[in-house]
Structure 1
Amino acid sequence: MSIHNLLICCIAVVLSAAPARAQNLSWQQVEPGIWKAKAGKPEAYDLLTASGAEPREEGLTEMGDSSFPLPADEITARVVDGQTYLRFPLDRKEQLYGFGLNFKTVHQRGRILRLHVDHYGGEDNGRTHAPTPFYVSSKGYGVFINSARYIKVYAGTAARKDSEDPPVARDRNTDPDWTSRPYSDSVEMLVPAEGAEVYIFGGPTPLDAVRRYNLFNGGGPLPPRWGLGFTQRVHRLYSAEDIRQEAEAFAERGYPLDFIGLEPGWQSKSYPGTFEWDGGRFPEPRTFVREMLDKGIRLNLWINPYVSPDASFADSIAPYTASHTVWAGMVPDFNTREGRNIFFSQLEENQVDRGVSGYKIDEVDGYDRWVWPDVATFPSGVTAEQMRQTYGLLVQRYSEDMFEKRNRRTFGLVRASNGGGTSFPYVIYNDYYNHRNFITALINSSFSGVLWTPEVRASETGEEWLRRVQSVVFSPMAMINAWSSGTKPWSFAEVEQEVREMFRLRMRMMPYWYSEYAKYHFKGIPPFRAMNLEEGFRSGLKMEATEKGLEENPYAEAVRKEINDQYMAGEYLLVAPMFEGQESREVVLPDGRWYDFYTGNYVGESEIITVSPGLDKIPVFVKDGGIIPMMPARMHAPGAGEKVNIQVRHYGEKAGSYLLYDDDGLTYDYEDGEYQFREIRVEKAQDGRWEGTIAPAEKNKPNTVGEVSWRFMPP
């Protein structure tokens, strides 16, 4: 080789090894307050493609526009060796929230995560049921990466040498403020693909950014009214007769019940499943389902999607399944039309058309040791990694389609979701069972566009049982899932009366819960949300230091104890769960005056209070002017078109207003305008007495409101 050619080769090698120059992104406004950019060459298959999410235009238009919330020239991207490097600026005073369904931490600044769908393993490291690549800043904006890959996140942990605001080098020998975690002025992400779509969501508040994200993904689900009642899951080998007796026991003891969950034994075989009724335990499934419906109780069936060789459709679906199996069951490729048609058509024929109301879709999350490996292949050409990140989205999407085609709403359970899945009528659950962490997950769900239930399973004591029941009453799904231990709501005689009263409270509050879900659907407001999304909340009130400060880091939240055990429930309620062994607890009140939910008594304003509610109550507080519509306690949710009397509670010294939502409670007709919001107002008359009014019902719209009475708290 000549010297000339050798020099050319050496130059080529050097150039190929040089890192790609960071490029500024070109931003296009796609919705009010929402911008999109393409880094590199985004893949055709991504989270939004898998979910089929479509923006709720009316809600976004109603929110109005906002200015681009970040300095665009400080957002950069570069593609190197088939991977995309993203960088977003971060101010010293910012705190970050989100990055998926975390169970232990609310503040995410200073964390390193790998966003990976998995069963939660006890550590907030990015492997979780919904590793949504969306984060929210305390400055009032959000960032979403639309990629179905395992994304590595450095949330304010990596300091670049070319930073305009670098950390100061300190001498560990002599400087008491030396830290192993120097200040970082950016969020950096590594996407293992040659490109990705990036979205920015404007504010001006963190809640506004969350709302825009939710509305961009279709708005939250609007469950049927029965979905907001209580559900009991029964033993995996229960027969139709066992279930009848279970329902009768609830009725005899005065416990409300709206739907019963059947575990794997309803099938002739499970793990993997046949998806066919077991003829011995359920000899006449159609008759059984109809009988339960006639009693006001719906049925929810456990499945996982792995097909047994003994399933009647095994041979026909085999060509549309993955190269690897799960528990010796075939894994359907729902990105093939044939695969999903074969799988879901048999569910329609054998269950949905017989009156089954929903599903609990298990094991679409992980663990690595039994789910398909990343070396698996799928007929659609979607990689195993992408399928892992989106399988929960696919099963939600196509199972809801079955019910939507029949104009029947559903509300079920699933083990995995991701970005784009906000609108699906499913609540996430798992087998991890830490009460405190369950509440933190409920808080974090509001940053991730998902719903989470702190379900009740086994308990060692009556106190623990009651405390867990209290939490699910103030959660997205009131579920008792103690089938394995055999624990019933009445198993602990010493707290049976208190447990029953909590069941009844859930039913009495149904008008409030239903209205809050409607606001999630139409306005994007999470029905259960973090205190950090509440106007006037100052977590800095709780100034208990957890560690020495980060490098020259003046923002208090990073060095103070975060609030991960209280949350907002709907527009007006602050919930502060009690845990076993607690006789009292602290509650951080946001700005404004707050009142006790049960008595109406004033409790405080912009301060930390200590409460000792006793065993029979979960601490709940109402903001000044709060309005809570309630109904009489019932054994089942109201049926379609059934009128129910409403009692409107008003708290505090301020006038208040509330939007009460109404539709038929069962169908999707609300999507065609068959609904109404009626404004409730409470104001003082000239003589100083409180007066309440409710807007008249619109003509030719659903109207299930009977007589309206008023209760001004304290009474």
Structure 2
Amino acid sequence: MKNYRICIYYLFAIALFFSCNKTAENQPKELEKLAPGVWMLKYGTPEKIDLLSELGINPKFDAIKAMGEAELPIDRSEIKIEVIDGKTYLRFPLDENEKIWGLGLNFKTVEQRGRVMQLHVDHYGGRDNGRTHAPVPFFVSSKGYGALINSARYIDVWVGTGVRKDSQNPPVARDRNTDKEWSSQPYSDNLEFLIPAEGVEVILFSGSSTLDVVRRYNLYNGGGCLPPKWGLGFWHRVPTLYTDRDILNEVAEFEKQKFPLSVVGLEPGWMTRSYPCTYEWDSTRFPNPAQLVKQLADNHIKTNLWINPYISPDGELYKKLLPYSGSHTVWCGIVPDYTMTEVQQILKEHFIKHQLSIGVSGYKMDENDGYDQWLWPDVATFPSGVPAESMRQLYGSIMQKFTTDMYRKENLRTFGLVRSANAGTSSFPYVLYNDYYEHRDFITALINSSFIGVLWTPEVRASKSSEEWVRRMQTVCFSPLAMLNAWADGTKPWSFPDVAKEVNEIALLRMQLIPYLYTAFADYTFLGTPPIRAMNLEEGYTAYDAISQKAFDGTDNPYNTALKKEVKDQFMFGEYLLVAPLFAGEKTRQVILPQGRWYDFYTGEFAGQGEVISVSPGIGRIPVYVKDGGIVPMFPPITKITGEKLPVEIRHYGVKNGTYNLYDDDGETYNYEKGEYTRIKIDVTIDKDQKKTGKVDLPEGSQTWSFSEFSFKYMAK
């Protein structure tokens, strides 16, 4: 009898263990429809702190609704989810030829199938292993859907690597000794996530195209940011210990060289202390900061200030923030708990007192990402009770929200730089950057940013040769933020005299393209369309029959062969432009032109259609192509954004009719959210004799802030 009782107790203990460590099957599993093409799936007990909970996001449901309905291309039953041992196991199906994009700001890969990652905010260390500045747990599938795993934890991901014994499409077992087809990574038909929490919220997005999936995702996160117009000009960050006189001399040199300049960035030396920081002006280098900021503003140049989050004991903020800081320090500075209203109020008062009140336009927020050896450890505690792991995943995002809100209350738009972001930050006016400096990888990151709702700049700092210098300048001028960062070595745009002319020309082209780029950002804001996007998001970028021009995946031709490879070195810039950078050492490159006719941006000459072309543009040009019917509005070459109205040249390319909705507003405030903006419809029609007629339709009663007159230039030859 004694042994019988022991056996019963033993069986009861086993049952109790499994009941505590595996979620019951009657947990809620059905999809909740949030908007057309958007669903939520909750399972177990999701944590109260997640990637979106602290950001105050207002989804743009009206814009999503205007996109129409979209069915989810996978069945709910195909999404497997359960909680075991206090962790959530999430699984999606993978078809044999299905591609997966997204899953963070990766620098070496665009297609993520076959990767094992831990999505973890950190400095990028040279490997696409999930540790990156924006480890956004959002993926996009070539099947036409995407999913956001809304957890502020370090999330492990196996993208088509784990092979399950219950697989519906198991790989063939092979003998390595005799079978040349043996592989160390057999075929896997699943995408799996491990979330260290007892439940999770998953938000699913669908659409008629991959781009529509991304657009819905961005709109759900509040839409994209709309920078002030000055933010799209050329930026220059000065050396760390520059004085006010040094800065004014630098500005004078830019004017002498007739080089564009819209924003001057001040690095750590503007403060009395940095690493950790006081956020107080150093009076020896800046005896009258208000006067300096005014002098720059009078010259139509904005001021941007470097900061990091860690507070020095030598400043007025230290005692105020000490009760609201984490248990550990970074560089001997306390770590404010940005999730607390007390912290935000104290910092807001300080920033207004020392910076906003004198006209500072924004911030470069550094060092809120990693490395492990100097950031707070995961054993740290914060007075809000937010776990250190979640705080790391959220810190850069919350800093973006706080500073954006601070300027929003002044009805002023800001634009700045940040070292970390996560899901939900698309509406915040910040661009990611880092200390990694591989030019090719910078362009891969630029492409990847379009899948996950963040912006990235391939900033220019230094180069080994004049060729590399001009190639870097060309790519940064076709990015969200065009910047030379001279904080360390004092380089100037003209530091390589043999390419100074070419560098000046590309910077002026950047200024000319502001009407086009500003409209692209408006489409990001109102429609969710990334201003810079991967070729995989471009309509017509699919395999087809080169003879009949019809879609046909099985055709074996150079174009289709090229599409089978991962494309990491060309991208779309706005609605119509395809940019194909060259890198140091390259004289020639291949460019994949999607279906439809494409034209050379500079000459208007026909370049090709649905094919791979080889180009040798010379050192002075970055290859740029315009799709048939494309319209590109351009300013004259200018060096400053003054707010005055300018004439616009409307370029039309190709042999198709073209339509374009040019956007305009005051360029500085949030009044556009109240409807104070204008969409100017531009049409180019071509009659049977190939005569082109351009028309500008300015809605009756509307105003323009930026444009004085319009002229047309027809580029096709």
Q: Is the 8 A contact 1:261 1:302 kept in 2?
A: yes
Quick one: which of 476, 479, 494 aligns to 2:483? 479
Q: Which residue of 2 aligns with 1:553?
A: none
For residue 54 of structure 1, what is the aligned residue in structure 2?
58
2:179 is equivalent to residue 175 of structure 1 = yes
In the alignment, what sits opposite 2:12? 12
- The alignment partner of 2:272 has SS state of coil
1:28 and 2:32 correspond? yes
Partners in 2 of 1:483 and 1:249 — Cα distance? 17
Aligned to 1:439: 443
Q: Provide the secondary structure at the position in 2 that maps to 1:248.
A: helix
CA distance in 1, matches of 2:23, 2:344: 43
Counterpart position of 2:502? 498
Partner of 2:2: 2
* Paired residue type of 2:29: L
Alpha-carbon offset, residue 160 of structure 1: 1.2
For residues 107-118 of structure 1, the aligned pairs below 5 Å read 107-118=111-122
2:348 maps to 344
Structure 1: distance between partners of 2:420 and 2:24: 34
Residue from 683, 695, 698 that aligns with 1:696: 698
CA deviation map 1:287-342 (0-9, x unaligned): 11111101100100000010000111211110000000000000000111111211
- 2:651 is matched with 649
Extract unaligned runs of 5+ from structure 1. Answer: 543-555
Q: Secondary structure at the match of 1:385?
A: helix
8 Å CA contact retained: 1:332, 1:340 = no
Which residue identity lines up with residue 672 of structure 2 in the other structure? Y
Is the Cα–Cα contact under 8 Å of residues 439 and 565 in structure 1 kept in the other structure? yes
Residue equivalent to 2:576: 572
**Offset of 1:13 from its aligned partner?**
3.6
Question: What is the deviation of 1:195?
Answer: 0.8
3-state DSSP of counterpart to 1:35: strand
User: d(CA) in 2 for partners of 1:374 and 1:221?
Assistant: 32
Query: Are residue 257 (structure 1) and residue 261 (structure 2) matched?
Result: yes
Select which of 670, 673, 676 maps to 1:671.
673
Gaps of 5+ in 2: 547-559
On the 8 A contact 2:368/2:395 being kept in 1, the answer is: yes
> What's the offset of the Cα at 1:352?
1.0
CA distance in 2 between counterparts of 1:203 and 1:308 reads: 49
Residue 482 of structure 1 deviates from its aligned partner by: 2.4
1:335-414 correspondence to structure 2 within 5 Å: 335-414=339-418
Deviation, 1:533, is 0.5
SS in 1 for 2:81: strand
Supply the distance in 2 between the matched residues of 1:557 and 1:130 (Cα, whole angstroms): 32
Could you tell me how far 1:51 is from its partner in structure 2?
Answer: 2.1
1:546 is aligned to none
Corresponding residue of 1:550: none
Structure 2 CA distance for partners of 1:165 and 1:16, relative to 1, 3 Å: farther
Q: Provide Cα deviations, 1:50-107, integer angstroms capped at 9, x if missing partner.
A: 2222201222121112112211111111111110000111111210000010000001
The one-letter code matched in structure 1 to 2:692 is: W
Pick one of 574, 599, 603 that aligns with 1:595. Answer: 599
Letter in 2 for 1:36: M
Pairing of 1:73-84 with structure 2 (within 5 A): 73-84=77-88
| Alpha carbons of structure 1 residues 540 and 357: separation in structure 2 relative to 1, 3 Å | farther
> Post-superposition shift, 1:685?
3.7
Q: How does 1:187-206 map to 2 (within 5 A)?
A: 187-206=191-210
Is the partner of 1:51 in helix, strand or coil?
coil
**What code does the residue aligned with 1:644 have?**
L
Deviation at 1:404, TM superposition (A): 0.4
Map of 2:74 onto structure 1: 70
TM-score by length of 2: 0.95
1:244 CA displacement: 0.5
Using the TM superposition, give the Cα deviation of residue 539 of structure 1 relative to its aligned residue in structure 2, in angstroms. 7.2
- Give the superposition deviation at 1:409: 0.5
Name the amino acid aligned to 2:11: I
Q: Percent identity?
A: 55
Do 1:541 and 1:608's aligned partners in 2 also have CA atoms closer than 8 Å? no
CA distance change for structure 1 residues 21 and 43 in 2, over 3 Å: closer, same or farther? closer
Deviations 1:660-690 (A, max 9, x none): 0010001000011111211111111465310
Change in Cα spacing, 1:587 to 1:684, as seen in structure 2 (3 Å) is: same
Note if contact 1:95-1:558 (Cα within 8 Å) is conserved in structure 2.
Answer: no
1:346–1:568 Cα change, 3 Å: same
User: TM-score of the superposition, structure 1-length normalised?
Assistant: 0.96
Matching residue of 1:524: 528
Question: For 2:233 and 2:24, how far apart are their aligned partners in 1?
Answer: 53
Say whether the 8 Å CA contact 2:542–2:563 is kept in structure 1. no
Q: Please tell me whether residue 581 in structure 1 is matched to residue 585 in structure 2.
A: yes
Range that drifts further, 56-65 or 133-142: 56-65
Moved more, 26-35 or 679-688: 679-688
**Match for residue 425 of structure 1?**
429
**C-alpha displacement at 1:22, in angstroms?**
8.4
- Give 1:387 shift: 0.2
Residue 300 of structure 2 aligns with an amino acid whose one-letter code is G
Q: Is the 8 A contact 1:594 1:602 kept in 2?
A: yes
Q: 1:557 to 1:217 in 2, by over 3 A?
A: farther
Does 2:571 correspond to 1:562?
no
Residue 39 and residue 540 in structure 1: after superposition, are their counterparts in 2 closer, same or farther (change >3 A)?
farther
Partner of 1:330: 334
Structure 1 runs of 4+ aligned residues shifted over 6 Å read 539-542, 556-559
Distance 1:118 1:22, change over 3 A: farther
Mapped contact 2:271–2:278 kept (Cα < 8 A): yes
Instruction: Pick the aligned partner of 1:126 from 123, 130, 144.
Output: 130
The answer on 1:627 being equivalent to 2:594 is no
Q: Which amino acid aligns with 1:584?
A: T
Given the alignment, which residue of 300, 305, 308 partners 1:304?
A: 308
Q: Which moved more, 1:447-456 or 1:559-568?
A: 559-568
- Structure 1 counterpart of 2:7, which letter? L
Q: Structure 2: how far apart are the matches of 1:558 and 1:587?
A: 10
Does the 8 A contact of 1:567 with 1:575 survive in 2? yes
Match of 2:549 in 1: none
Residue 696 of structure 1 aligns with an amino acid whose one-letter code is L
Within the candidate set 612, 618, 624, 2:622 is matched to: 618
The yes-or-no answer on 1:281 pairing with 2:281 is: no
Partner SS state of residue 519, structure 1: helix
Deviations 1:586-618 (A, max 9, x none): 111110111100000011111111000000000
SS in 1 for 2:34: strand
**1 CA distance for matches of 2:468 and 2:242?**
26
Partner Cα distance (1:496, 1:225) in 2: 26
State how many pairs are aligned: 700
- Contact 1:540 1:560 survives alignment (8 Å): no
Are the equivalent residues in 2 in contact too, given 1:539–1:562 (CA < 8 A)?
A: no
SS across alignment from 1:515: helix
Which residue type is aligned with residue 707 of structure 1? E
Q: Mean Cα displacement is larger for which, 24-33 or 411-420? A: 24-33
Which digits, 9 at most, give the CA deviation of each residue in 1:168-205, with x for residues without a partner? 21222222111111111111100001111001101121
Q: Report the counterpart of residue 683 of structure 2 in structure 1.
A: 681
Which string of whole-angstrom CA distances, capped at 9 and with x for unpartnered residues, describes residues 397-424 of structure 1?
Answer: 0011111000110000000000111111
Matched to 2:395, the amino acid is Y
Please state whether the residue corresponding to 2:225 is helix, strand or coil. coil
**Contact 2:23–2:44 (8 Å) recurs in 1:** no
Q: How far apart in 1 are the matches of 2:102 and 2:24?
A: 26
3-state DSSP of counterpart to 2:591: strand
Q: Is the 8 A contact 2:103 2:139 kept in 1?
A: yes
Judge conservation of contact 2:233–2:641 (CA < 8 Å) in 1. Answer: yes
For residues 207 and 8 of structure 1, what CA distance do their matches in structure 2 show? 58
Aligned counterparts of 1:575 and 1:448: Cα–Cα separation in 2: 20
Name the amino acid aligned to 2:648. I
What residue is the counterpart of 2:556 in the other structure? none
